[in-house]
Structure 1
Amino acid sequence: MSSIDITIPDGKAVEDCVKRAYLGKPIERPVKLTIRVVSAVPRSYTDNHAKACLAGLEWPAKYLDVSQVCKSLEGLAYDDIKRVAMVDAAKVYGGENKIDVKVEDLCY
């Protein structure tokens, strides 16, 4: 089973980050995507509110279009969007805005 781990910093194009992280041929078998969107805690939050966010007691309301991330990886990480068999996506608070994507080949 092969996998690709990609971190997409805030403001960077998904395609550019994938091209730098993955230089091989697109996967031609079913894949699982694990997408983790990390949002920085807003500066306007009080210290207690920020600590609660980082402890996982509050979820970010930042917009996440999972289908856009899936389509952005087509032709780069896998050959066709139809290859996406599983998606595990979450939005959490953290230190910086970024998207972590893991593409796993489901076939052995």
Structure 2
Amino acid sequence: DFSFAYDILHSTCEGGLSWPLEFNLVKDHIGAAYFKDFKWEGRKLVTCPLGEGKVDPAYGQMLMKTGYSGPISLHLEYLEGNPKDAALLKEFREAHVRDMKTLSGWLGWV
């Protein structure tokens, strides 16, 4: 079997508004679904909290409508600093909880 790790950030930043076309081409072969978000700062891609950038929340519903039941990976690449730093640990946890809540809404889990 062959499958894709479908990354909605890359599909959106590289395909723009045509990401649904790409999704429809590969939807039956998605082996892992990656969720992360981004903004443009000039011509530079900058990651951000899920739901605050360019990634369309409709992706979550589209994915679930396919009957997808594989792994879902939530990426928080916008977090900076050392997670071993006690001062940042609380901030990192809050970011994970916030983004998971957003993701749950996108997937219809709430």
TM-score normalised to structure 1 length? 0.36
Q: Which has the larger radius of gyration?
A: 1
Relative contact order, CA 8 A, sep 6+: which one is greater? 1
**Structure with higher strand content:** 1
More helix by share: 2
